[in-house]
Amino acid sequence: MREEDRIRAGVLFTPGDPELKAMKLHTHNLNTVYNQTMEDETEKRAQILREMLGQMGEGVFMQGPIYFHYGCHTKIGNRFFANFNLTVQDDAEVTIGDDVNFGPGVTIVTPIHPMIASERNQILDPNGKKSRLCYAKPVHIGNSCWFGANVTVCPGVTIGDGCVIGAGSVVTRDIPPNSFAAGVPARVIRPISEADSMKYKPEVLGGCQVIEEE
């Protein structure tokens, strides 16, 4: 079994495997190229992202700098926006839905290392070789989510559609759809409801109007 297949199976794999290292090097170099572009070099940026990512929808904008680990394990929907300093350590699959917005400093991580120090240092791989091994769990983020600044999403988490995650939160467990969650670790504070509509905040609307759903 290839190490890439072991990642997908959710079992221990060798991050130092030559094939995996080559994949990561390719993406790390593309990160560097992207981060050296000007913000208005939109075509060049889009071309780099298309080469880097497993899937990317329309209307994607990443302020930069960006830091993807594999890139090819990440699938992003339409109209995604990421502010400064996005980090995605996508050893396992990361999926991000449509109309998702990230504040600055958002981090998504999927790999998990053994808790016991000696096991972190070395475990026998299937061939009997002493190796540094880890495993990874996928992260899934639904449609129309908004993450505040410096949110960290931990391995294995699914965040449902329409969620808001408060700034500085560390998300360690699944968040149900249409929830406001915050804290370290993040917990659901309350459901998001019609009472949260901007139409009830005339002091900040400043002459704007909420578009009523048909």
d(CA 136, CA 91): 6
114-130 tens-digit pLDDT: 999 999 999 999 999 99
d(CA 144, CA 175): 14
d(CA 82, CA 42): 14
Catalytic residue list:
113
d(CA 181, CA 171): 9
Asked if the model's pLDDT at residue 148 lies above 80, the reply is yes
Asked if the model's pLDDT at residue 212 lies above 90, the reply is no
Confidence category of residue 77, pLDDT binned at 50, 70, 90: very high
- The neighbour count for residue 64, using CB atoms within 10 Å, is 19
Whose tokens are 């002493």? That residue is 130
Confidence category of residue 185, pLDDT binned at 50, 70, 90: very high
Asked if the model's pLDDT at residue 213 lies above 80, the reply is no
Mean pLDDT of 147-152: 98
Give strand pairing partners of 175: 159
- Contact partners, residue 185, CB within 8 Å, separation at least 6: 170, 171, 172, 173
Closest to 159 in 3D by CA, of 78, 85, 100? 100
33-63 tens-digit pLDDT: 999 999 999 999 999 999 999 999 999 999 9
Q: Give the pLDDT confidence score for residue 69 in this predicted structure.
A: 98
Confidence category of residue 110, pLDDT binned at 50, 70, 90: very high
Q: Is pTM beyond 0.75 here? A: yes
Whole-number percent of the chain with pLDDT over 70: 100
Domains of the chain as residue ranges with CATH: 3-205 (2.160.10.10)
